[in-house]
Structure 1
Amino acid sequence: MITGGATGIGKATAQLFVQNGAKVVIADVSNQAENTIKELLNIGGEAIFVKTDVSKETDIKNLIEETVDHFGKLDNMVPIAGIGHPGTLIHEVTLDHWQQMLDINLTGVFLSNKYAITQMQNQGTGGTIVNVSSIMGDVGKTNQFSYNAAKAGVANLTRSLGVTYANQGIRVNAICPGFVDTPILSIADEEKRSLLISAHPIGRLGRAEEIARTILFLASEDLSFMVEANLIVDGGYTAQ
């Protein structure tokens, strides 16, 4: 199950999971997900789309129910759905803006984890969750107060869930990407984009498929001893 699976990192993750034999559920608010589903079916995958607003508890409950009705169980949850913003001074941040950022980027992850873990417990077969935090959950960035706060929340939520449910065979980890060349960066103009590129020692932005490969790795049995990790994949950004 991949929230935010219609485009960007979510779409790349869905494609990679299908290529490795997984049956995929894409949850998104965007009808672009329907085209993504068609692409997955065209490469021989099994996939369905459930329109979902991750900030709404009823939508997440419905998402889990439809997944189990269709595929019988839930093995892996990857909550990717999120929004960004170009940056705002704290005295200009409205409560509505703050709340929207937390509702989607943090509460949406909380709800996804809550109901995925509940389903995995009911199955009794364990499972994996790979949350998507950000390097912005680990370092500060000018004028990104609400985004930074939400992503830091995802990082610590992951740590707490990881140590709480490890003994039930449910592995919860997170990936913390640097800046990745996806539609969410469309809000950045060319000057800002150049600055972002120059901030990465590797000399470029990340690619969606690179993040997808790391998510698949975290979800795989290759990392069966890893829990509550926040794995940084950032082209060297945070090492400076």
Structure 2
Amino acid sequence: MRERGLLHGQVALVTGAGGGIGGGIARRLAEEGAAVALHCRTSVASAQETAAAIRDAGGRAVVLRADLTDEDACHRLVTETAERFGGRLTALVNNAGVQPVQELAGMTAAEWRAVVDTNLTAVFACTQAAARLMRDQDGGGSVTHIASVEGRFPAPGHAHYGASKAAVVMHARTAALEYGPWGVRVNTVSPGLIDREGLADAWPEGVRRWREASAVGRLGRPEDIGDACVFLASPLASWVTGHDLVVDGGATSRPTW
């Protein structure tokens, strides 16, 4: 780990760090000098593996479990992160989310709520808890929500997911206004398609289309999203708040006609 990286001295919490994107974000934050709490709900082994790799490289990392559909659990997660690292939290990355496929016509209200509670309400609760803590510490802090290009461009079977991600972007813009006087910056990162093991076999046609649409001819990597999160948490972004940073290899720059 870099002793004087962009995030030297920072303490970060990454939700959903047991997944590929969350793990990539946690690794990049740690590589730039942050102590990192990796949240997970069920992917404990994966989160522990990432945390062990961070520690083996000389960084600081802990794994914390919580069900983020429980508001009190969100607040406890933020508090425990600070307690593990000297009472401070300087960066929160709200990455945890679900992306089921369900046609809108047959979707139940329970299925809708399951996505919104995880992708949006948990973001609200974790951000609220983090902002309260950051307000009382020198230097404030930053919050980054992981949204999606589907917050702007709809996809069949993803009405609940796309709506939740669009709402996440608007939450960040509003939170940037209200938490700005507290010294807290709030932004979003909207990824395009991020590669993972087995994706090309499971969705070959989709992968082909994304590669063709990308201006750089490839899918994204978890580290690409991690790089964006590093920037937004760093002093380089001290005047950046309320912004949605699209990280999609230029795919959404393509004309649709």
**How does the TM-score come out when normalised to structure 1?**
0.93
Task: Provide the secondary structure at the position in 2 that maps to 1:206.
Answer: coil
Instruction: Flag the 1:127–1:180 CA change in 2: closer, same or farther, 3 A.
Output: same
Give 2:124's match in structure 1, choosing from 100, 103, 110.
110
The correspondence of residues 127-146 of structure 1 with structure 2, limited to 5 A, is 127-146=141-160
Give the gaps of 5 or more residues in structure 2: 1-12
Q: 7, 13, 23: which is aligned to 2:35?
A: 23
Q: Secondary structure at the match of 2:27?
A: helix
Identity of aligned residues (%): 32
- What is the distance in 1 between the residues matched to 2:198 and 2:21? 10
Q: Measure, in 2, the Cα distance between the counterparts of 1:185 and 1:89.
A: 21
Please, what TM-score do these two structures have when normalized by structure 2? 0.87
Q: CA deviation at 1:191?
A: 2.6
Conserved? CA contact 2:134–2:183, under 8 Å:
no
1:11 pairs with one of 7, 23, 29: 23
1:69-218 alignment runs, 5 A limit = 69-71=83-85, 72-85=87-100, 87-123=101-137, 125-182=139-196, 188-218=202-232
Do the aligned partners of 1:7 and 1:183 also contact (CA within 8 Å) in 2? no
- The offset of 1:125, in angstroms, is 3.5
CA distance in 1, matches of 2:200, 2:106: 22
Mind listing any 5+ residue stretches in structure 1 that lack a counterpart? none
Q: Deviations over 1:144-195 (max 9, x none)?
A: 1001000000000000001112222111111111111136958943233323
Deviations 1:201-231 (A, max 9, x none): 3322111111111110011111111110011
| Separation in 2, partners of 1:125, 1:235 | 33
Q: 1:115 is matched by which residue type in structure 2?
A: A
* Structure 1 stretches of 4+ moved >4 Å: 183-188
Within 1, Cα distance between the matches of 2:137 and 2:51?
A: 26
Q: 1:140 to 1:83 in 2, by over 3 A?
A: same
Structure 1 residues 65, 126: CA separation in 2 closer, same or farther (over 3 Å shift)?
Answer: same
After superposition, the Cα gap between the structure-2 partners of 1:154 and 1:210, relative to the gap in structure 1 and judged at 3 Å, is same
Is 1:35–2:54 an aligned residue pair? Answer: no
Contact preservation (8 Å) 1:83, 1:105: yes
